[in-house]
Chains A and B, each alone.
Chain A
């Protein structure tokens, strides 16, 4: 199967107090559609950096990120983020002055996805939020509910690739398991490429492929 996303010799560094600190070193990997990937690794191994580069939140110092063979930098990172990828953050990153449903419809408006409020309500309901919760300001929702809103927002954008950075880190076991079920369903039933950065071995166990990063390099890949 043709890869939907490729990291081609990607390296990235940050300017430390005294010298440049390389957090990713010549990483190459091809992600396929319809697959649920997890990225494991100790803190500082480069997991989040790899996810931010792959999701177009930043550009690598060296190497290329290719979406269906096209360099995303040439495409434009904003366009890449707008049309092809969605990201779920550990800290939810919702627009706090809006209701749950308005967060979802706002994302749909920005990404140009049709369906409006009706589709947003359906997604929220599918993720376990009732109408009252959907209309409530997001700050009145629990952490688990906010993470569901963040996932609904990502799903609403009809993207090919879904990134998630520690999506279950703030959730209880049952809710975390529900999230994993959603990711598996997205990958296996809708053909979405789901890439999740996690510390959880349990989440990794339920994914299709696990990449383990160590000191900025892929140390292991496989199930």
Chain B
């Protein structure tokens, strides 16, 4: 096949340097923006997928209070012993092949052990609410003695609690309590409480039930650090002061509280499962039913809020990038189409001459296509050079704005909630993990797939921008172009 039109295209581009450079610039802008859009989409997609794999797998099994209230017809909701979530049920579900790890918890409280002084709230108690924080279990001044307690958190595996898993708490001496401690009376104490009372690993601590009965001696196996400072402007009962919390195995906490046992089995309040595959939530629900968990009484919450909080800003960026890609592509095709249409009009004489020599019309369209494509290929090369850096810059800038907006929103919600999150009692806390730091960095990296997608868009734009105006070439009549009328 005679491809002389390719040579003509090269000559034409070289001869019309200024116009070629303008087209190159236009293509460069379009491709850089489209590439940036694709790169941002890809980076945010990868980040979201990574986050989903990291946090989206957490499923919390908890008592469904709403359903219970509906069943109680306005009365106080109560769970029957038959329906209770027990360790054997929770363990049965934990053995499912869908589960990577799991934890469950049982919260309790104990009067301060003998000789132990609890940490005090930074703020003074409200008028008329005074109590002693030292005393071997009893209040020495007026005030609710039952608030003068040490928080006792029963955990199957302390390392899987949000506090330890996310690094807010850390073991600084001894070890963490784990599944192997089931049946043992062991405890972990906080660094400040330990320092204040000279408690060390290997020491003993006698805990009781919340009503001061059933004393059991626990061995201290670990000291952990909670960097949370007491709130300076709000008084808290001792049980909620950071540091006044000990961790113990669930079974041991149940032994302190015989009411938490049903038929020799230990009740737990909430369980958290980490799935191997976040996409198998529905299968996990079926497995829960098979393990004897009544989903009419309990609810399974996929850890969606955490995921949404984390990826919210980057999803906004991905959405923006997607819209930008479409807008730029459409606008680019339209602008280039108009430029090519104008070029065809300008070059009617040239087209007429070539037609008079017997050149085929498709080759004339082909010449324009080659010219546009050659410029597009060059622009694609340049856009690859600048696109990655621009995408990273744009991504960081856009994400920074989104994260700031997310923080503002979080702050607004925090104000409305009145610090409710701080008051959370359940340490397993996956259903409402509290404020989380959204993803504020994305890593943009150029891969062949993105370049291929931009090349695809470029070919599409070049075809649209050339072939549609090129239809005019098919209508050209060399006589009307070249001959002077009589």
25 A-B pairs with CB atoms under 8 Å apart are: A45-B486, A46-B486, A47-B486, A48-B483, A55-B356, A57-B479, A58-B477, A58-B479, A80-B358, A81-B358, A87-B356, A89-B482, A89-B483, A91-B482, A93-B349, A93-B356, A94-B353, A95-B354, A97-B11, A98-B11, A106-B357, A110-B359, A111-B357, A157-B357, A165-B484
Bound-complex Cα distance A112 to B358 (A): 11
Bound-complex Cα distance A4 to B349 (A): 29
Assess the B358–A78 pair: CB atoms within 8 A: yes
Report the nearest A residue to B14, measured CB to CB. A97
Interface centre among A47, A94, A110 (most CB of B within 10 A): A110
Q: Which residues of A contact B482 (CB under 8 A)?
A: 57, 87, 89, 91, 93
Indicate if A38 sits at the interface (CB-CB under 8 A).
Answer: no
Q: Which residues of A contact B100 (CB under 8 A)?
A: none
Indicate if B16 sits at the interface (CB-CB under 8 A).
Answer: yes
User: How many residues of B are counted as interface, with CB atoms below 8 angstroms from the partner's CB atoms?
Assistant: 28
Could you say which of B4, B356, B484 contacts A91, with CB atoms under 8 Å apart?
B484
Instruction: With A48-B483, A57-B482 as known contacts, state yes or no: A95 contacts B4, CB within 8 Å.
Output: no
Residues of B336-354 at the interface with A, using a CB-CB cut-off of 8 Å, are 349-350, 352-354
Known: A47-B486, A57-B478, A94-B353. 16 other contacts (CB 8 A): A43-B486, A44-B486, A48-B483, A48-B484, A55-B356, A58-B479, A79-B358, A81-B357, A81-B358, A91-B484, A93-B353, A109-B2, A109-B7, A110-B354, A110-B359, A112-B2
Indicate if B401 sits at the interface (CB-CB under 8 A).
Answer: no
Mark B1-18 against chain A: 1 for CB-CB distance below 8 A, else 0.
Answer: 010100110011001100
Indicate if A102 sits at the interface (CB-CB under 8 A).
Answer: yes
Assess the B479–A52 pair: CB atoms within 8 A: yes
Q: Which residues of A contact B7 (CB under 8 A)?
A: 109
Report the nearest B residue to A87, measured CB to CB. B356
Bound-complex Cα distance A20 to B449 (A): 60
Bound-complex Cα distance A204 to B35 (A): 66
User: How many residues of A are counted as interface, with CB atoms below 8 angstroms from the partner's CB atoms?
Assistant: 39
Q: Which residues of B contact A93 (CB under 8 A)?
A: 349, 352-353, 356, 482
Residues of A59-118 at the interface with B, using a CB-CB cut-off of 8 Å, are 78-83, 86-87, 89-91, 93-98, 102, 106-107, 109-112
Assess the B486–A48 pair: CB atoms within 8 A: yes
Indicate if B355 sits at the interface (CB-CB under 8 A).
Answer: yes
Q: Which residues of B contact A90 (CB under 8 A)?
A: 484
Could you say which of B12, B360, B483 contacts A78, with CB atoms under 8 Å apart?
B360
Mark B447-486 against chain A: 1 for CB-CB distance below 8 A, else 0.
Answer: 0000000000000000000000000000001110011111
Q: Which residues of B contact A55 (CB under 8 A)?
A: 356
Assess the B356–A57 pair: CB atoms within 8 A: yes
Assess the A110–B4 pair: CB atoms within 8 A: yes
Q: How many whole Å from B363's CB to the nearest CB in chain A?
A: 8
Q: Which residues of A contact B485 (CB under 8 A)?
A: 48
Bound-complex Cα distance A218 to B340 (A): 44
Assess the B356–A95 pair: CB atoms within 8 A: no
Bound-complex Cα distance A93 to B349 (A): 7
Could you say which of A23, A44, A102, A107 contacts B357, with CB atoms under 8 Å apart?
A107
Assess the A98–B4 pair: CB atoms within 8 A: no
Q: Which residues of A contact B350 (CB under 8 A)?
A: 95-97
B interface list, Cβ under 8 A from A: 2, 4, 7-8, 11-12, 15-16, 349-350, 352-361, 477-479, 482-486
Mark A115-159 against chain B: 1 for CB-CB distance below 8 A, else 0.
Answer: 000000000000000000000000000000000000000000100
Bound-complex Cα distance A202 to B96 (A): 107
Indicate if A49 sits at the interface (CB-CB under 8 A).
Answer: yes
Bound-complex Cα distance A39 to B355 (A): 24
Q: Which residues of A contact B349 (CB under 8 A)?
A: 93
Assess the A109–B483 pair: CB atoms within 8 A: no
Q: How many whole Å from B225's CB to the nearest CB in chain A?
A: 78
Bound-complex Cα distance A97 to B9 (A): 11
Bound-complex Cα distance A49 to B480 (A): 10
Bound-complex Cα distance A78 to B11 (A): 23
Q: Which residues of B contact A96 (CB under 8 A)?
A: 350
Bound-complex Cα distance A19 to B464 (A): 39
Assess the B358–A110 pair: CB atoms within 8 A: yes
Assess the B353–A95 pair: CB atoms within 8 A: yes
Assess the A109–B4 pair: CB atoms within 8 A: yes
Residues of A32-50 at the interface with B, using a CB-CB cut-off of 8 Å, are 43-49
Q: Which residues of B contact A94 (CB under 8 A)?
A: 353
Bound-complex Cα distance A150 to B356 (A): 12
Bound-complex Cα distance A110 to B2 (A): 8
Report the nearest A residue to B352, measured CB to CB. A93
Q: Which residues of B contact A87 (CB under 8 A)?
A: 356, 482
Report the nearest B residue to A93, measured CB to CB. B353
Q: Which residues of B contact A109 (CB under 8 A)?
A: 2, 4, 7
Residues of A146-200 at the interface with B, using a CB-CB cut-off of 8 Å, are 157, 165
Bound-complex Cα distance A110 to B366 (A): 14
Instruction: With A58-B479, A98-B11 as known contacts, state yes or no: A78 contacts B486, CB within 8 Å.
Output: no
Instruction: With A93-B356, A110-B4 as known contacts, state yes or no: A52 contacts B12, CB within 8 Å.
Output: no
Report the nearest A residue to B480, measured CB to CB. A58
